[in-house]
Amino acid sequence: LVWRFPREIKPRTCELMSDGIVLRASADFLGLRVYRAQDDFRSFFWQFWLRSSDYWQQVIIWSDENGNLVYYCPYVLAMGASISSGYCQDVSNLLMAVVTDVFDAQEAIAFTQCTDPRFREWLARKNQLSIQTGKNEARLFAIRCYTDDPEWMVVGASRMIRFLKTWHWVVSTCAGFLMAVPEKRELGVASTWNGHGHLSSASIVVLQPHKALSALEVIRRAFRGEVTVSEWKDNNQLLNHLSVVRLNEKDAMYSMWSVVAGLDNNQLIPVSRMHLHKDGIEKWIQTLSCHSAAPYSSAVDLQYVLDFSTTAPMAPSLPLAIHHIYTDAAKTGTTQPGVAGFIAGYYWVLPLNEHDLEMFDIPVLEMLGVVIAVLMVTEYFPTLAVTIWTDSDTSVAVLHNKATSEAMKWLHSRLIRSKQYLDCSARGLYVGHISGAANNFADLPSRGKINELEQLCAAFGIRARRLPLLPSVLSLLPELHLYMAQFRATNSTSLSHAQPFNKCGDGPQRLHHSFVLPTTAPSLPNDIEAWRSQQRNIVCNATANQRIMPHTLLRAPPVLPALRPLGSVLSAPATTAVEHKRVRLSPLPPASLSQSMSTGVAPRPPVTICNNNTELPRAAAISNMLCQARDPNLAIVAKDPQIGALMKLMHDSLHGSYAPSTLRNDRGYWREWSYFCSEILGTSPLRTDISANIGWDCIGHQREVFLLSLFTVWKISNMKPRSSQVPVANPRSAHGAISSIRRSHALVTGIELVKTPQINKIIRGFLRSYVQQFGPDVLVPKRKEPMRMSVVKQMVNLPSGSRISPSGRYAVIHWLDPFWTSWRACLLTMLSTGFRKNEISLHSSAVFTKGRLSRASIWWHIGAVTYSDPDVRTLQSFTHGDYVIMKPPLAKNDQFGQAFGNKPIYLPYHESVLCAALALRDLEVRFPMRGAIRQHAPLFAMDARLQPFRHDVIDSIFHRHIGLVVGSEAAQCYSLHSFRIGLACALLKSGKPLPLIQALLRWMSPESLIPYARLDPLEYGNHLIHATSVEITGVTPANLPRLDNDDLVVQCQSVLQSHSDTVFDMNEP
């Protein structure tokens, strides 16, 4: 089930009862009284203003007296809207958490000042309990809030006075909420909350008499056939509210809901239905007639109440030995289906007939197995504590919560009302879920495989013995059949047969634990701290989604140091992670607040007006911006001269977050964006309206979307194709321009541009139009050809003196020169490693830095010894079994060396002209470098002055060099990236798996490998030839022959056709 909005969590009366009994115990120990108080918010829903883009969700269409349609739109959360109650409850939960945190801080100070020995003893034991539970147990107050009705209990009159001051200060003064008239407030030892009366002096909850009488009147009229299903359901909701007097009865509402199961809301309830569930209804009649109150202790598990006669809280005692029972039920896959159980060699089997299999789902039969297990173990093993294992999640869920289907309700109620269940729970009863594959001890007898069970037991040294079924077990199925027959007889619309899977509504989709405590024990109080943390996350998520803007929560005067950041949490932008820090909340100016109250729109945050400067803001502009604030206390004023250096460092760090090549491209796109905004549209390129960018301002949001969409159209229309061979530019290139502008705008202003899916739709529209006009070939990406090994051999085998160009510095090949030695080593290294051009060379304006390929990037493993700075004699001994170890340089997919920096490349020695290790050895021997200079010397240098390779130089030399081998026209199909493509293709053709190719060429994801690892034509064809020799024998089940009497029908039709012309004499006897 997917919830669009956070699930609404309301406090329950039993939670308040649990708080009350805990506080009553502490109050009695300290000799104090428990006081209660209650407050109320005034028009709580109307204190939350909607943002303008959400107005349409609250529009009401009405027809006036003239028949004209009138549109009403509340600017606040409307009464009756499904989302309103949930949002207000979330804010209430957060307010309760803040009040609790503030008062906890005050209490901590008060606790340190109290010297009463009795109180110090109480505090010591509470602190010891807090260590065990991980929660703050040393509290003398409790607070709950049902949407807009807060209720709190406090121990001691003076503490109640302090709490009232804290409550008013946090909720009214800091958060700015308006409270109801004083007549709605209550203070004393008794109060009315959530429809019940509460007495602190007696620790009881009192039912309202008129509600009990109303429920009894509906039941009386129903027995006379005068109540509709809709009325009965409303009465069930009232009974559920009154169920505080039956907290420990999980089946209290089973009969009440079964009365109307499957009936139409406007239908009168049949009297036969009332008599069928008379037993459960009479329990409610007796309860409402004889019980007008319930003690608080009924909501607490007494095993966990602090015992002040000891030094530690009582813990639940566990039995020394727990025996395991396995249960299972089988319907299919066997000729002898049944329900079985197993415990320590003893087993029992309840056979199932065809009627049983037809009427009951497998979850019902699995639950029946659990019930039988309790009855059998109580009779045959009356002293054992047991754990019942079932492979049905449904049974565990029902025992932990409640049942939904009629059969499950009957079994659950029958179980928990039985004496055997009470006795078994008193000794120790646990229920757990086990996978079906591990449940062989019960699965085998449930399928009638007794011989296999005996063999399995013998393997464990156990003798399998069958226990006779008890009369109470044998009567379960007949009684269940009788009940279901009576139920179906009173409701013809509910007739259904059993399904092979769970359709009864009970099952693992309901939340439960793997193990549950005995279900007769009262439920423990909920984990309040975890619950409160969950509410904080819900409110923060709702605020981050910008569903509501409770601007009243932003007003606050100076606060106590212990206050948590209520304002910062609810006003945090969607991209900001909420942290629990102490902050100072600033009040909104009265003008902004009055404006928002009158317009229904939250006040827009202040916007700093920037000029059209295309660079990052300078220190003066930043200082001017920081000095502007609605509250002078929040303005940032530099008092330390070092602030200038810090701001420059921040500026440089922002620039350094992206690669220099990225920033160069960004400057070009930013110039285009500035020109388009300033010269064509006459607006600022700095879109600093936060409300419009994130969607708070509906009209402004549409404006920003229109601006960015129009620029996309303008950019695509003015883009130039990458080469003269392509008539138009690829519209997909506009994605890069938009991303670049977003990045630059965030660097300039710290504000992200508007996000809209309209950009992708525009680009798709251009793509479709261009394909229709020029064909799909225009948009097909042009890839370079893979480098072939034969081509590289011819390139490095060209003799010295070969001229690659008419003139120039590197027009003639001289393999002994520094450049050509490095060039040869570079080509062969790229062939073996697949380095990118940016990894072996630099841009024309870049500086050689650490992380680039240097002489220190390679180690030599010669004769089982690894050298980082070998001499010439050692290098000349480089032979078979030796190899070069190379550390990968920084790359575009590993800009900080964290991905591949610890994954070295190994280049082995082999007798070949394409051996990269030998080429590197020749480079080191001819131009040796020793010592620390190796760290600063590029591995591949232009000359003896250690100038690194440059992009433009090696691009030109490469195309002229390869042109001597393949021709100048074919040379245009190659680039330095062809070495990386060629290595990937060669590895693929040699049969290497794709993950290995990805690792050898240092790709971060398998998707990056797809454009490079191309199939060889011969290999491609061989795959197709092999496919033609394979015969497919599979048949789709829908196309299989049907098992019917078609042939007989055809014969009958032919006989009838042959006699169609025969004339019969009607008078013939």
User: What is the spatial distance between Cα 722 and Cα 54, in angstroms, rounded to a whole number?
Assistant: 45
Q: Does 533 score more than 60 pLDDT?
A: no
Which has the closest alpha carbon to 858: 870, 876, 846? 870
* pLDDT of res. 634: 65
Give residue-wise pLDDT tens across range 681-697: 888 889 988 888 888 88
Q: Does 311 score more than 50 pLDDT?
A: no
Average pLDDT, the chain: 78
| DSSP annotation of 726 | S
Q: How many CB atoms lie within 10 A of CB 25?
A: 18
Alpha-carbon distances of 365 from 74, 348, 420, rounded to whole Å: 54, 15, 20
Give the sheet arrangement for strand 338-343, strand by strand: 465-466, 346-351, 338-343, 322-329, 385-390, 429-433, 515-516
Q: Does 206 score more than 50 pLDDT?
A: yes
User: What is the spatial distance between Cα 875 and Cα 872, in angstroms, rounded to a whole number?
Assistant: 5
Q: Does 582 score more than 50 pLDDT?
A: no
Which residues, listed in sequence order, are joined to residue 474 by a DSSP beta bridge?
A: none
Give residue-wise pLDDT tens across range 932-988: 888 889 999 988 778 899 999 999 999 999 999 999 889 989 999 999 999 999 998
What average pLDDT does this structure show over 591-615? 33
DSSP-derived pairing of the beta strands 429-433 and 385-390: parallel
Give residue-wise pLDDT tens across range 645-676: 777 777 777 777 777 778 888 888 998 999 99
Which has the closest alpha carbon to 546: 691, 687, 746? 691
The lowest-confidence range among 68-72, 223-227, 871-875, 881-885 is 68-72
User: What is the spatial distance between Cα 444 and Cα 451, in angstroms, rounded to a whole number?
Assistant: 9
3-state secondary structure of 742: helix
Which has the closest alpha carbon to 770: 779, 762, 761? 779
| DSSP annotation of 680 | I
User: What is the spatial distance between Cα 782 and Cα 780, in angstroms, rounded to a whole number?
Assistant: 6
Which has the closest alpha carbon to 890: 935, 846, 850, 932? 850
Long-range contacts of 795-800 (CB under 8 A, 24+ apart): 795/827, 795/961, 795/962, 795/964, 795/965, 796/824, 796/827, 796/828, 796/913, 796/914, 797/913, 798/961, 798/964, 798/965
* pLDDT of res. 625: 53
DSSP-derived pairing of the beta strands 60-63 and 69-72: antiparallel
Give residue-wise pLDDT tens across range 431-488: 888 877 778 889 899 999 999 888 888 888 888 899 999 888 998 988 888 888 877 7
For the chain, give the percent of residues with pLDDT over 70: 80
Residues 6+ apart with CB under 8 A from 630: 586, 588, 589, 592, 606
Q: Does 590 score more than 70 pLDDT?
A: no
What average pLDDT does this structure show over 800-806? 88
Q: Does 358 score more than 60 pLDDT?
A: yes
* pLDDT of res. 630: 55
Residues 6+ apart with CB under 8 A from 374: 388, 415, 418, 420, 421, 424, 429
What average pLDDT does this structure show over 267-282? 85
Which has the closest alpha carbon to 214: 237, 193, 181, 183? 237
User: What is the spatial distance between Cα 141 and Cα 769, in angstroms, rounded to a whole number?
Assistant: 70
The beta strands (E) that lie in 443-487 are given as 465-466
What average pLDDT does this structure show over 193-214? 86
* pLDDT of res. 626: 56
Q: What confidence category does residue 636 fall into, taking pLDDT thresholds of 50, 70 and 90? A: low
pTM assigned to the model: 0.43
* Half-sphere CA count of 674, side-chain side, radius 13 A: 14
Identify which has the larger pLDDT, 332 or 832: 832
Instruction: Locate 299 and state its tokens.
Output: 């909501």
Contact 574, 546 (CB under 8 A): yes
Alpha-carbon distances of 170 from 14, 51, 560, 1019, rounded to whole Å: 27, 25, 10, 76
User: What is the spatial distance between Cα 703 and Cα 684, in angstroms, rounded to a whole number?
Assistant: 13
- CA dihedral 535→537→539→543, nearest 10 degrees, is 180
Alpha-carbon distances of 835 from 797, 820, 853, rounded to whole Å: 22, 19, 11
User: What is the spatial distance between Cα 318 and Cα 301, in angstroms, rounded to a whole number?
Assistant: 16
Residues 6+ apart with CB under 8 A from 1: 509
Residue with tokens 């059949």: 481
* pLDDT of res. 491: 60
What average pLDDT does this structure show over 503-529? 32
Give residue-wise pLDDT tens across range 366-408: 999 999 999 998 888 888 888 888 888 888 888 776 777 888 8
Q: What confidence category does residue 598 fall into, taking pLDDT thresholds of 50, 70 and 90? A: very low
Give residue 542's identity as a one-letter amino acid code: A
Alpha-carbon distances of 520 from 418, 501, 524, 607, 994, rounded to whole Å: 11, 29, 12, 62, 59
Identify which has the larger pLDDT, 428 or 407: 407
N-terminal to C-terminal alpha carbon distance within the chain:
73
For the chain, give the percent of residues with pLDDT over 90: 22
The lowest-confidence range among 12-21, 492-501, 737-746 is 492-501
Q: Does 554 score more than 70 pLDDT?
A: no
Contact 215, 221 (CB under 8 A): no
Q: Does 117 score more than 80 pLDDT?
A: yes
- If residue 1050 lies in a helix (H) or strand (E), which one and from where to where? helix 1046-1058
Alpha-carbon distances of 611 from 176, 605, 685, rounded to whole Å: 37, 19, 9
Q: Does 297 score more than 60 pLDDT?
A: yes
User: What is the spatial distance between Cα 988 and Cα 790, in angstroms, rounded to a whole number?
Assistant: 18
What average pLDDT does this structure show over 796-813? 88
Alpha-carbon distances of 717 from 692, 733, 762, 776, rounded to whole Å: 27, 11, 12, 18
Q: Does 158 score more than 80 pLDDT?
A: yes
Q: Does 275 score more than 50 pLDDT?
A: yes
Give residue-wise pLDDT tens across range 701-713: 889 999 999 999 9
Residues 6+ apart with CB under 8 A from 511: 401
What average pLDDT does this structure show over 248-276? 82
The lowest-confidence range among 202-206, 325-329, 863-867, 884-888 is 202-206
* Half-sphere CA count of 604, side-chain side, radius 13 A: 17
Q: Does 884 score more than 90 pLDDT?
A: yes
Give residue-wise pLDDT tens across range 980-995: 999 999 998 888 888 8
Which residues, listed in sequence order, are joined to residue 347 by a DSSP beta bridge?
A: 342, 466
User: What is the spatial distance between Cα 341 and Cα 332, in angstroms, rounded to a whole number?
Assistant: 18
* pLDDT of res. 708: 92
What is the chain's percent helix, strand, coil content, to nearest 5?
A: 50, 10, 40
For the chain, state the CA radius of gyration. Answer: 41
What average pLDDT does this structure show over 512-522? 28
User: What is the spatial distance between Cα 553 and Cα 1067, in angstroms, rounded to a whole number?
Assistant: 101
Contact 979, 796 (CB under 8 A): no
What average pLDDT does this structure show over 276-293? 85
What average pLDDT does this structure show over 993-1004? 88
